[in-house]
């Protein structure tokens, strides 16, 4: 009987919802030569307490470091979240084409 009481409580922690908050795509030349570069980062927030935004700057730095001697064009960025009962995960994806000068 105790198991029947515990299961609904545990289900609260397993239910979630995903959504895309933002998507941005720069114009790009389809015929242009270059190398595809991409980087993904995640950040977890517990109990709505989040003062750390440095993970976004770190993701940008890692993304730009993949093309040190060129320029990244046609950048797309997507910010999405996976919401749960007590926490949620931010997921950031950056992609673009590295063109060497």
Q: Which residue has the higher pLDDT, 76 or 10?
A: 76
- In order of 59, 71, 83, the CA distances from 12 in angstroms are 31, 46, 12
Rounded-to-integer distance, Cα 92 and Cα 63, Å: 11
Q: pTM of this prediction?
A: 0.73
User: What pLDDT does residue 39 have?
Assistant: 95
pLDDT band at 49 (very low <50, low <70, confident <90, very high): confident
Torsion angle, alpha carbons of 91, 53, 35, 31, to 10: 80
Q: Residue 37 has what pLDDT?
A: 93
Question: Across residues 33-58, what is the average pLDDT?
Answer: 87
Mean pLDDT of 2-28: 64
Pull the structure tokens for residue 23. 């998507």
Is pLDDT of 7 > 90?
no
- Name the nearest CA neighbour of 56 among 78, 88, 26: 78
For residue 47, the model assigns a pLDDT of: 79
């Amino acid at each position: 009987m105790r198991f029947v009481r515990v299961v609904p409580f545990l289900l609260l922690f397993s239910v979630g919802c995903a959504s895309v908050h933002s998507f941005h795509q720069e114009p790009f030349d389809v015929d242009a030569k270059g190398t595809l570069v991409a980087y993904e980062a995640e950040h977890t927030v517990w109990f709505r307490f989040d003062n750390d935004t440095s993970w976004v700057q770190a993701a940008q730095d890692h993304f730009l470091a993949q093309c040190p001697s060129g320029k990244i064009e046609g950048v797309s960025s997507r910010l999405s979240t996976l919401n749960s009962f007590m926490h949620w995960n931010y997921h950031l994806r950056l992609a673009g084409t590295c063109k060497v000068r």
